[in-house]
Amino acid sequence: MSLTVSQAMMLLKEHQLLVQSYDISEDMQFQKLAYDSRKVEAKTLFFCKGAFVLDYLEMAKKQGASAYVAQTYYPDVALPALIVSDVQKALAVLSAAFYDYPQNKLAIIAITGTKGKTTTGYLAYNILKEATKSKTALFSTIDRIVGPEKKDCFKSDLTTPESLDLFHDMYQAVANGMTHLVMEVSSQAYKKNRVYGLKYDVGIFLNISSDHIGANEHPDFADYLYCKEQLLRNARKCIINAQSAYFDELYDVAKSSCGADNVYSFARKGVQQKVDVLFSGALENLSHSQLEVQSISSKAKSLTQLDGSYDLSVPGDYNESNALAALLATNLLIADNNAAKKALANTHIPGRMEIIASQSHGTVYVDYAHNYASLKALLVFLKQQNPNALITVVLSSAGNKGLSRRADLGKALNEEAMKVILTTDDPGFEDPHDINQEIRAQIITENIEISEILDRCLAIKQAIQTSKAGDVIVLAGKGEDPYQKIKGEDVFYAGDVKVAKDIIEELEK
């Protein structure tokens, strides 16, 4: 892997990004790209991006950087420079070239939505993994899987990684023999140009509701929606949940991008809207459900091995639409009904609707629900399945981002919860008590019991210990995240599943 300066300049000019160059030698060749000065070595092209300070460039120079790419020229640092109009776009363009365009060697399904991305991603991944005999990679909020070996699976830092890391992992997946990739694409990936120039074989739009609005994310909902829509503009075929808000706008965006013949819509049976595929839940309980699929339009009917009945291992009626999206997307790439049926019946998604039963302290449900839509859907489903149960919810909200979530979580709790324990969930540089006060301000229903225990392990213990057989405890937000983000540090945390299991074991000795 290498990149010459002439190749870099040509690509930057092609994308109208190059503003000026300083002291660049035409025979310069780069053996590495980096945006972290600690990872710089000889013959590295360094990118000055993000929360950049000049000390980072000085460090990069000391460690052997040959040149840098930036939006500002730094004459006091005697180092060749490529000055660009957008360093994030430049990083994406040059990273793709450096790794020899690995995206062109993979069939890619990309997924966006306010909720359900990870569930849909795992379901699609497992279908393709079965159909391709383990030649499918996964880039998700939880894991990145770039090959068939244990060493090829590692925890994700971001839903959609920085472009340099994204193309590196694609390159590694191709080197490991992968032929397909399922990836989540966040709104921030488009906001920050992490996926600039990337095209997908199939793009899935699940839903949209207010989220990720704040000083460090999207300034308003219009910007959030616009960024989400970019996935539809960059897919060769699109799948859209017709029950999503703004469906007509989403459909028009997709149609203008890839043509009406390549846009597939779906909805739950009974929805009064013309769609390509309908689904229904023939059986719904707390351990699994049965999905019934029916093609409606002629283009959907032309697909093979789509219609029929599928057992779904992920409980929750709200997960049936996720399963349908995964089923339809994978069918557009590989129509393998046996693989689909086997995968949907056996998929396990870490931290999503994990069920932990106890003998005398109720049943614990661990789920990543962290916004109004996902928490509301989860609590409604659990109340339907447990009409006489006391439902206790343990949660908080992340600090320094998604500020609108706090009021939204409070609204969902106000509508559906019976007992709430507010705790800590990645507070960042904020005081978790202050975050909880914003959630609490929205809980105005008088008969909801509310308390606060900032130690998350103790909060979970209190919820389980005070519950009895038949009760339900919901641990929302963290899932199996192995750390808490506190004041710039990743502080070890065992994860809600492990904590709950250990507490139940201790209580029932």
Q: What is the mean pLDDT of residues 395-408?
A: 88
CA of 248: how far to CAs of 50, 275, 431, in Å? 35, 12, 41
Interior CA angle at 167 toward 161 and 170, to 5°?
100
Q: What's the mean per-residue pLDDT of the chain?
A: 93
pLDDT at position 362? 92
For the segment 463-492, what is each residue's pLDDT rounded down to a tens digit? 999 999 999 999 999 988 888 999 989 999
463 vs 361: CA distance, rounded Å: 9
Share of the chain above pLDDT 90, in %: 81
CA pair distance 449, 446, nearest whole angstrom: 8
Element (H, E) at 228: helix 221-233
* Token code pair at residue 199: 């095209």
pLDDT number for residue 481: 84
- Six token digits for residue 159: 């839903």
Would you list the DSSP string of 295-357? E-SHHHHTSSS-SEEEEESS--TTHHHHHHHHHHHHHHH---HHHHHHHHHH---TTSSEEEE
Beta strands in 416-482 (DSSP E): 419-422, 449-452, 472-476
Would strands 3-4 and 489-492 be described as parallel, antiparallel, or unpaired?
A: unpaired
The pLDDT, as a whole number, for residue 214 is 67
Radius of gyration of the chain (CA): 24
Domains of the chain with CATH codes: 3-98 (3.40.1390.10), 102-346 (3.40.1190.10), 354-507 (3.90.190.20)
pLDDT average, residue stretch 369-381:
89
Pairing of strands 81-84, 65-70: parallel
Check if the beta carbon of residue 29 is closer than 8 Å to that of residue 2: yes
Structure tokens at 431: 């005081």
Average pLDDT over residues 305-328: 92
User: Could you tell me how far CA 257 lies from the centroid of its own chain?
Assistant: 23
pLDDT of residue 509: 78
Distance CA 237, CA 32 (A): 34
Residue range 196-247, pLDDT digits in tens: 999 999 999 999 987 767 667 788 889 999 999 999 999 999 999 999 999 9
- Beta strand 489-492 with 483-486 is antiparallel
What pLDDT was estimated at residue 271? 79
Position 401 scores a pLDDT of: 80
